[in-house]
Amino acid sequence: MRHIKIFFFAFLLIFNFSEISKSQAVPASFADLAEKLMPSVVNISTTQTVVTRSNPFPNFQFPPGSPFEDMFKEFGVPQERQSSALGSGFIIDEKGLVVTNNHVIQDAEDIIVRVNGDKEFKAKVVGSDPLSDIAVLQLETKEKFLPVKFGNSDNARIGDWVIAIGNPFGLGGTVTSGIISARNRSIGLSRYEDYIQTDASINSGNSGGPLFDMNGDVIGINTAILGRSGSIGIGFSIPSNSAKLVIDQLVEFGETKRGWLGVRIQDVTKEIADIEKLDEPRGALVASVAENSPSDKACVKAGDIILEYKGEKIRQMKELPIIVARTEVGKKVKVKIWRNKKEIIKDITLGRLETSEDFKVTESIQKPKESNIEQLKITVRELTKEDIALRKLPNQSTGLVVTKIENDSPLIKSIDINSVILEAQKKKIRNVEDLNKVLNQVFKTNEKTLLLVIYNSQNQRRYIGVKLD
């Protein structure tokens, strides 16, 4: 009996060790995989003409920012020079369709693609999308090529082995290996960010190259690195599932066709969740609704909190634009909204994304009389008709323009100079007296939480929740 127990215990140890080894095994070599994939990864070089002007007064320079600086530059002698750039890409069709980053080929006059280290072909742009930083090229040849296929990036897990192949520093086909370090990263480079983070070495010139899993499938497009001097072990790739939707549209239409709700949104902070009696900070707060947009037609209002979209819960604000953009234009979707402390459902027929800017920062205007708001430690003035015209605000807008913020103001981290306070505690603000009246009421309560609706300095409507001492 004792021998049986020892045998059984030894068997369990061997089985568990085998399973652990299997899940954490380091590949003996990447050579076979690299050899198979290298012919499908390409090096891209682009050229464009850059016009510069020589200084007509080489021994004299105006101070930076001087109004004369740009004027005298115009009198310089125009000089043309050729600028070149390098990047990577990969073949997705035997007829020579190549995927890369938009920033690799943007404004290029000539695009040369080198395949398998020796053959060079001219390429033309099939379609490009700056918002996702993806472009598709067509090689100008009738030769057949060896394509790679896309994998399911949703199945990629933190800790999985990956390899990157590309053209770092113009050196040609280079293979690096690493693991997936993180998922769902956002680093502020583009509108739609859901990057895979990897520690596989990625450097300048790797942009547009593929990130492969151990099956040899593309699960990401290498796009960015952290650190200007080169790889420091933090690289970012566009997930293949997101990229493929864009690529398919670029191939079919030459452009993207994204779903569009027509709302500006922001994060739901703890303070805003408390004021709205929401159980926790979640969802996307609607800061403003574009006129005649799909949301406007469905009677979505500023102040609504979008909790679910097409049955998918929205945990963070940044998730909503990505999900909406993936939805087919013209599709009717159900959107769950939190309004007046209860859930309601809206049916919205999606439009096509508008990419034009809603507002632009305009030049400052002459300031009328200013007043101090002692309780907030800010200085304000009333919004004027000139403000409305210059900043292209709605004609009936009223509010207070913030002209100064003290360092110890409770709003110091929440608003900027030239922000316009439109509402406080959901009450319209027309003048200083309106704001002071609301503040006095807030300070009489125990919560002392203030909800402001503002236009920020970029003329975007925002909700701000702050705790007052």
Q: Catalytic residues, which ones?
A: 103, 133, 207
Taking the C-alpha atoms of residue 249 and residue 207, their distance in angstroms, rounded to an integer, is 21
Taking the C-alpha atoms of residue 414 and residue 401, their distance in angstroms, rounded to an integer, is 14
Three-class secondary structure of residue 247 per DSSP: helix
Read off the DSSP letter of residue 72.
H
Dihedral angle over CA of 58, 59, 64, 65, nearest 10:
-70
Taking the C-alpha atoms of residue 324 and residue 258, their distance in angstroms, rounded to an integer, is 8
CA nearest neighbour of 345 among 288, 306, 287, 301? 306
H runs (alpha helix) in 99-144: 102-105
Residues in contact with 367: Cβ distance below 8 Å, sequence separation at least 6, in sequence order: 381, 403
Taking the C-alpha atoms of residue 105 and residue 250, their distance in angstroms, rounded to an integer, is 15
Q: Please list, residue by residue across 52-64, b when 16 or more beta carbons sit within 10 angstroms of its beta carbon and e when fewer do.
A: eeeeeeeeeeeee
Q: Point out which residues pair with 305 in neighbouring strands.
A: 285, 338
Instruction: Judge contact between 22 and 72, C-beta under 8 A.
Output: no
Residue whose structure tokens are 């895979």: 196
